[in-house]
Chain A
Amino acid sequence: QQPVQSPQAVILREGEDAVINCSSSKALYSVHWYRQKHGEAPIFLMILLKGGEQKGHDKISASFNEKKQQSSLYLTASQLSYSGTYFCGTGPNTGNQFYFGTGTSLTVIP
């Protein structure tokens, strides 16, 4: 049930771009993206509800390919504050469950 994310970890220099992918073996109803800092609860970034949908705010955006059961998170011109672990989250069409992906550790260095 757990979506698989890639890469597992990435290190960037400030100002560089990154892409985090999320892939599910099950049909996706929606895709959520969260960022978690060490020792803290996850913080909601965005939700994509329809296949083909793209969203973004500031320099973080995401896309959702419903047919491929995939989503990608794009971080452009990364800032030090972007460091953390990113999780995608998905739920099925039926039922209430919600599963987090395997996680991607992102470290931005000066």
Chain B
Amino acid sequence: GAVVSQHPSRVICKSGTSVKIECRSLDFQATTMFWYRQFPKQSLMLMATSNEGSKATYEQGVEKDKFLINHASLTLSTLTVTSAHPEDSSFYICSARSPGGLFADTQYFGPGTRLTVL
């Protein structure tokens, strides 16, 4: 099956620093990747849709300048949390849409990144 990796799995940083999270599709090319944020006991909230070679589409209420997304290739999307603050602490999950076939519309998720901002 399709595999998506995410790195790092866990990061602790000081307030004001920037953190970069990588999302890679290992065995398929993904023209579309998604970034989600999940707070404890809540659902996954879509932050942005990342399209290879073009600007990301951000959901309402998500600050573009704070959450920088780059989808430089068909297998890599990055999310950079700039000037992180304690309220940015959350579980960040990426997913990649499979390219076709029986599960043409299926999303495969990375293992997630636990961000803690002190």
Contacts and interface: CB of A to CB of B under 8 A. Distances in A.
B109 A41 contact: yes
Interface residues of B, number: 24
A87 B36 CA distance: 14
A47 B43 contact: no
A70 B19 CA distance: 39
A91 to B, nearest CB: 7
Contacts of B51: 96
A106 to B, nearest CB: 14
Contacts of B112: 40-41
Given A41-B93, A96-B32, A97-B46, A49 B108 contact: no
B111 A40 contact: yes
Interface stretch (B62-70, B77-85, B99-107): B99-107
A3 to B, nearest CB: 10
Contacts of A99: 46
B114 to A, nearest CB: 8
A100 B105 contact: no
Nearest to A100: B44
B100 to A, nearest CB: 13
B105 A30 contact: yes
Nearest to B49: A96
Given A41-B93, A41-B111, A41-B112, A98 B46 contact: yes
Interface of B: 32, 34, 36, 42-46, 49, 51, 57, 59, 93, 95, 97, 103, 105-112
10 contacts: A32-B107, A41-B93, A42-B109, A44-B107, A91-B105, A96-B32, A98-B46, A100-B45, A101-B43, A103-B43
Interface of A: 2, 30, 32, 40-44, 47, 49, 87, 89, 91, 96-103
